[in-house]
Every structure is written in structure tokens, then in C-alpha cells.
Amino acid sequence: MEEENIFTVQRPASHTDWETYHAIRKKNLFDPIDIVYDPNHPSLKDPKNHHYLFLMNGQIIGTLQLETLLNDTCIIRTLVIQDPYKKKGYGTLLLSLAEEITKEFECRHIHLHSFPNVVAFYEKSGYTRMSFPIDESTYPGTVDLGKVLQN
């Protein structure tokens, strides 16, 4: 009989957790688009930003960064699944867990900047093209998406 996988989301707690968090983001998000990754970026210490590890059976397979705004809005800054785990439904699961986490912050709206090649991934989970709640510069060609959460 095949055992079910156990998925958890937790905040990085140790130096090793943070090293893994940075390595996953750098390799899977920043390197492919030739952006220099800064593991000391101010957003990592900003109390509005919340960082998470996504684990399957105790092994880190992805990361999540959420930002809370003063109103009832959260921003998914990054949602990353490591390459060997992509296209297996784990990104969809992490997105669903991210939506649950935003409820802890009393968010009713979620926004994100998406690369064009993954817009369909977000649309399958109910995200639509929506103006971004704050004025900021983004990576060229990104698509602004959002979703109104149900209570």
C-alpha cells in the first residue's frame, strides 16, 4: 500500500532553513531571468513580508513569500517549486495553502505579478487580470493578476 505524502508550510527557523530558502529562490526564480539574487534584500527583514518553506514528507520542495498591505490585501511576492517537483500539482497545493495563510492576516484580496508562461497556472485557480494595488516597477512583461477570496 502506497503511503500518502504529508505537506506542511512553515517559516524558516534555522540558518539551514534560510540557506535552503535562498538557494531555491535563486536557482528557480532569479537565475533563469538573469537577476542577481540578494539574500540580504530589505524585504527579508520587513515585518510586512512573510516567508515560508513548503515541505513534502519533511523535505523542502518550495518557498513562498507573502506581503501584507495596510488594507485587506496580500501580495504573493514569490511562489516557487523546485524543478523536480514541478508539473505534479504541488504548485497548486502551495497556492491553495498561501490563500489559507492570507486569511490569518484578514486579507480578502490577493495580487501578484506573473510571468506570461505561468498565467494559465494562476487562472486555473481563479486568478484574473487585475490592476495592482500599489505602484511599483516590475520585471518587464509581467502580468498583474488578482483574486477576491471567499470567506
Q: Has residue 148 been placed in a domain?
A: no
How, if at all, do strands 128-129 and 109-114 pair?
unpaired
Q: Has residue 151 been placed in a domain?
A: no
**Three-state SS at 145:** strand
Rounded Cα–Cα distance for residues 44 and 60 (Å): 19
Query: Mapped to the 3 state alphabet, what secondary structure does 39-80 carry?
Result: CCCHHHCCCCEEEEEEEECCEEEEEEEEEECCCCEEEEEEEE
Q: What pTM, to 2 d.p., does this model score?
A: 0.92
Q: Note down the domain range covering 83.
A: 7-106
Q: Has residue 13 been placed in a domain?
A: yes
Q: What are the tens digits of pLDDT across the range 99-111? A: 999 999 999 999 9
Rounded Cα–Cα distance for residues 11 and 144 (Å): 26
If one counts the domains in the chain, the total is: 1
Of the candidates 3, 72, 37, 55, the one whose C-alpha atom is nearest the C-alpha of residue 64 is 55
Query: Going by C-beta distance under 8 Å and a sequence separation of 6 or more, which residues neighbour residue 16?
Result: none
Which residues of the chain register pLDDT less than 70? 1-2, 151
CATH number at residue 29: 3.40.630.30
Per-residue model confidence (pLDDT) at position 150: 81
* The C-alpha cell that represents 8 in the structure block: 506542511
* The C-alpha cell that represents 24 in the structure block: 531555491
Per-residue model confidence (pLDDT) at position 141: 85
Q: Has residue 80 been placed in a domain?
A: yes
Of the candidates 149, 51, 50, 46, the one whose C-alpha atom is nearest the C-alpha of residue 100 is 149
Q: Has residue 68 been placed in a domain?
A: yes
